[in-house]
Amino acid sequence: MARPVTTTAVPKLINVARWLWITSAFVGMARFVAELFDRETLVAEARRQNPVYSQDQIDAGVNGGILFGLLIAVAILVLYTRLANTMARGRNWARVVLTVLGAVSVGFGLFRLVLFGSGIAARFGVEMRPVDLAVTFVTLVLESTAIVLMYRMSSHFRTRVTVDSDFPRS
């Protein structure tokens, strides 16, 4: 006979961590989508890299790139949301995956901020707009905080829990 699964409510810190992950994914996606819709910059860059292409070829390439970028952005948003909800349900593997993804993201964010702050990025001709820096800083703070909060309640990952969510469960 199977043993009944006991369920408990999600601890507040874990729930906050879940929403921090989802918020971070939304902020990152919003920045990425805003960059995708800067069509003039994309066309100018494509023209610079491929001067022999006709305008129709450039437009087709940019349109394909925008569509592919949107698909990738939605896939990443769904991935982070599913992982955050799975983590909130007490799955340790989801916590580990989010920790690895978050650590890589925080590392790259710190790297970008150091390159900008030291002036190295400007010396190599890399333009960093204030909006990009602000988004980098915001996602860095969100993800760092989410990582810390996930590990403040380690006992949560030993029991199954129910999560109040509109997302379908697998």
Task: Looking at the chain, list the stretches that DSSP marks H as alpha helix, in order from N- to C-terminal side.
Answer: 12-36, 39-49, 55-88, 92-118, 120-123, 130-152
Specify the residue for token string 């569509």. 67
In this predicted structure, what is the pLDDT of residue 169?
A: 56
d(CA 46, CA 90): 46
**Regions of the chain where pLDDT drops below 70:** 1-8, 159-170
Q: Please report the pLDDT score of residue 168 as a whole number.
A: 56
Enter the tokens of residue 41.
């910059």
Please, what is the end-to-end C-alpha distance for the chain in angstroms? 23
User: For 156, left (φ over 0), alpha (ψ -120 to 50), or beta?
Assistant: alpha
Residue 145's pLDDT is 96
125: left (phi over 0), alpha (psi -120 to 50) or beta: left
**Angle in degrees, CA 21, 147, 29, rounded to 5:** 25
Q: What is the pLDDT of residue 131?
A: 87
* pLDDT attached to residue 82: 96
Is the Cβ–Cβ distance between 146 and 20 less than 8 Å?
A: yes
pLDDT of residue 7: 54
What's the pLDDT at 170?
54
